[in-house]
């Protein structure tokens, strides 16, 4: 694997940044994976991704939705209620060939067996270790 992006925060901004990085690398012909761990895995399996305080509020949501258009970030809502739809980037990344992984450590801690979205590939401890060791570049941390 050329690039492994590790997402651990349950923030919509982290999800957008990490998935756009992965998509851009994939479009450039690189083999790319995204590893969901900690809060990001919990949000993906049974919660939601929240916006950080500095990126909250109606004016900011509108600005992010409008700015995201050029980057291919889908929006949800219409008019004054529109905002970027960070979660919609997950199937887009999967369809583009970005491999999406679930951290086995946090799957166990969160008791997520059988609760993972279909887009995610569950790993065991040996596969996780091999994935990190074999990646040419790792962005993020567990």
Q: pLDDT tens across 112-141, in order?
A: 988 888 889 999 999 999 999 999 999 999
Task: Name the residue range of residue 113's domain.
Answer: 3-139
* Alpha carbon distance 73, 105 (integer Å): 30
At 51-78, the pLDDT tens digits run 999 988 888 888 888 888 888 888 887 8
Say if CB 49 and CB 19 are below 8 A apart: no
Cα–Cα distance for residue pair 71/34, rounded to 1 Å: 19
Q: Are residues 79 and 65 in contact, defined by beta-carbon separation less than 8 angstroms?
A: no
Domain count, the chain: 1
Indicate the pTM of the whole model. 0.91
Distance of CA 110 to the CA centre of its chain: 18
Answer with the residue of higher pLDDT: 78 or 4: 4
Q: Give CA–CA dist 9/16, Å, rounded.
A: 11
The arithmetic mean of pLDDT across residues 96-109, rounded, is: 96
CA nearest 132: which of 118, 142, 122, 121?
142
Token duo for residue 103:
């951290």
Report how far residue 122's alpha carbon sits from residue 43's, in angstroms, rounded to the nearest whole number.
16
- Separation of alpha carbons 52 and 10, rounded Å: 10
CATH number of the domain at 29, please: 3.40.1260.10
């Amino acid at each position: 694997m050329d690039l492994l992006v590790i997402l651990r925060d349950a923030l919509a901004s982290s999800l957008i940044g990490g998935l756009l990085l992965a998509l851009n690398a994939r479009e450039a012909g690189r083999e790319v994976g995204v590893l969901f761990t900690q809060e990001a895995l919990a949000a993906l399996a049974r919660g939601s991704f929240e916006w950080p305080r500095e990126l909250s509020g109606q004016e900011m949501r509108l600005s992010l939705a409008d700015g995201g258009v050029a980057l291919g970030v889908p929006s949800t809502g219409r008019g004054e209620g529109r905002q970027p739809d960070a979660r919609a980037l997950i199937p887009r990344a999967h369809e583009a060939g970005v491999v999406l992984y679930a951290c086995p450590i946090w799957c166990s801690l969160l008791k997520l067996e059988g609760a993972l979205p279909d887009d995610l590939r569950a790993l065991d401890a040996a596969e996780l270790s091999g994935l990190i060791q074999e990646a040419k570049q790792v962005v993020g941390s567990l």
